Amino acid sequence: MALLVQKYGGTSVANLERIQKVADRVAESRRKGNRLVVVVSAMSGVTDGLLKMARELCKDPSEREMDLLLATGEQTTTALLAIALQSRGVEAVAMTGAQAGIVTDGTHTKARIANVTPQAVQSHLKAGRVVIVAGFQGQTMEGQITTLGRGGSDLTAIALAAVLKAERCEIYTDVDGVYTADPRTEPQAKKIGEISYDEMLELASTGAKVMQARSVEFAKKFGVVFEVRSSFNELRGTMVKEEAKSMERVVVRGVSLEKSQAKVTLVGVADRPGVAAKLFTGIAKAGINVDMIVQNVSLPTGGKGSKPQTDITFTVPREELPKARKFLEPFRRAGWVKQIVFQEGVAKLSVVGIGMRSHSGVAAQLFRALAAAGVNIQMISTSEIKITVVVDEGMGAKAVRAAHREFRLGGREGKR
């Protein structure tokens, strides 16, 4: 009997009708003889609603209590799905993350899984029950409830699939696979048949929220092959797996856009050893999520004996801008930095593909396409398989379209 781990995201369990549909699917799979662990998210909008309520009470609610609060969303769904299955005569048991053995570190709101002790899940499976597990949550060794970061139910599913050595891991969502761009904003986007872990990881960490980035990292580490597919139809989805030689033929696999970003420029930073270290250590300690750091060439400030200075620009998620402002202001007052410029309303556009390792000229091609579309590039950063540019947020969709068209992603899959 095959062991399957299935995960149903928020829209797939958005209301009772959809929960009934999921119960039908699960019951059918069980009747075929499969053993099943089903991970569920909170009903769509519930996590956001809980966050909003807490923030109405307090601007900066304590993270321990936030975890306790947010974990209730997933628990509701597990219990409802188990009840729906039981009413169909299918033996099912609902479990919290803690009951399912998800042990995490103590970093509230973005805890890391330390280990999984699957004995309880295994004994329910052995007794013939479908095990429904609350995604996105765990418990520390000390018994504190934690959550795994937004989109974290994906991680619960992948971790359970790894530990239980499941034959299949299926991530059911509201699109029928991973597309060359977000199909909601790019009408030309095409479904990808298979994608490597590295490409999926880069896309997920640059705005393609179809998978939580950390879950992909985990899948890569433990070699969990998984399929992203729709809970609304029977179509085959996208396989995410180890890269194969043939995958390199595709230069650009997909395009992603991360909106709601902000740019911070530190003008006139003293150019001597230790300054950047001090600034960024402090920024990290303040919990500010920095990306795309660019340091300009160092120039003397003029005048005899003047010390060289440089400019540093980086991006942060827009909601972290107030924290960054509060943290950086004392550095300006103390004379470490001459001036600080904060700019909201920017977005990061990324093109991703492992084929970039063996093809040259991809960056130039992207820049030409953006220029032709009238999109101004504000910052650039590249890695082996990714090119990211910062653009005006209002031009984001246009930039995606231009890149998508340039690399012919809307035609036959990935053809250049």
Q: Which two tokens stand for residue 279?
A: 């600034």
Residue closer to ligand ASP (CB basis): 67 or 154: 154
Residue closer to ligand ASP (CB basis): 182 or 194: 182
Residue closer to ligand ASP (CB basis): 159 or 391: 159
CB of 321 to Mg ion, least distance (A): 25
Round to whole Å and give the CA distance between 134 and 155: 11
Contacts for 8 with CB less than 8 Å, ≥ 6 apart = 22, 38, 39, 40, 41, 172, 231
Residue closer to Mg ion (CB basis): 6 or 309: 6
- What is the residue type of 94? A
Q: Which of 105, 174, 248, 413 is close enough to bind ligand ADP by CB under 6 A?
A: 174
Residue closer to ligand ADP (CB basis): 14 or 337: 14
Residue closer to ligand ADP (CB basis): 36 or 175: 175
Round to whole Å and give the CA distance between 280 and 246: 40
CB of 169 to ligand ADP, least distance (A): 14
Q: Cβ distance 175 to 233 under 8 Å?
A: no
Round to whole Å and give the CA distance between 269 and 271: 6
Q: What is the DSSP letter of 286?
A: T
CB of 216 to Mg ion, least distance (A): 12
11 makes contact with ligand ADP (CB under 6 A): yes
Sign of the C-alpha dihedral computed for residues 137, 140, 141 and 144 taken in this order: negative
Cβ atoms within 10 Å of 60's Cβ, excluding its own = 8
Residue closer to ligand ASP (CB basis): 152 or 414: 152
Round to whole Å and give the CA distance between 275 and 337: 10
Task: Name the binder of 11 from ligand ASP, ligand ADP, Mg ion, none, CB < 5-8 A by kind.
Answer: ligand ADP
353 makes contact with Mg ion (CB under 5 A): no
CB of 41 to ligand ASP, least distance (A): 3
- Which of 273, 283, 330 has its CA nearest to residue 307? 273
Round to whole Å and give the CA distance between 164 and 3: 8
396 makes contact with Mg ion (CB under 5 A): no
CB of 150 to ligand ASP, least distance (A): 4
* Stretch in the footprint of Mg ion (CB under 5 A) among 96-104, 144-152, 176-184, 401-409: 144-152
97 makes contact with Mg ion (CB under 5 A): no
Residue with the shortest CB distance to ligand ADP: 9
Q: Cβ distance 252 to 351 under 8 Å?
A: yes
Q: Cβ distance 35 to 1 under 8 Å?
A: yes
Considering only residues 152 through 171, tell me which ones interact with ligand ADP, judged by CB under 6 A.
none
Q: Which two tokens stand for residue 101?
A: 């053995």
Q: Cβ distance 44 to 11 under 8 Å?
A: yes
Task: Name the binder of 178 from ligand ADP, Mg ion, ligand ASP, none, CB < 5-8 A by kind.
Answer: ligand ADP
Round to whole Å and give the CA distance between 247 and 353: 9
Binding mask 230-259 for ligand ADP (x = CB under 6 A): ------------------------x-----
Under DSSP, is residue 219 helix (H, G, I), strand (E, B) or coil?
helix
81 makes contact with ligand ADP (CB under 6 A): no
Residue closer to ligand ADP (CB basis): 184 or 236: 184
Considering only residues 203 through 232, tell me which ones interact with ligand ADP, judged by CB under 6 A.
203, 208-210
* Segment holding 410, helix H or strand E: none
Q: Cβ distance 26 to 38 under 8 Å?
A: yes
Interacting residues toward ligand ADP by CB under 6 A: 9-12, 41, 151, 173-175, 178-179, 181-184, 203, 208-210, 254
Interacting residues toward Mg ion by CB under 5 A: 9, 151
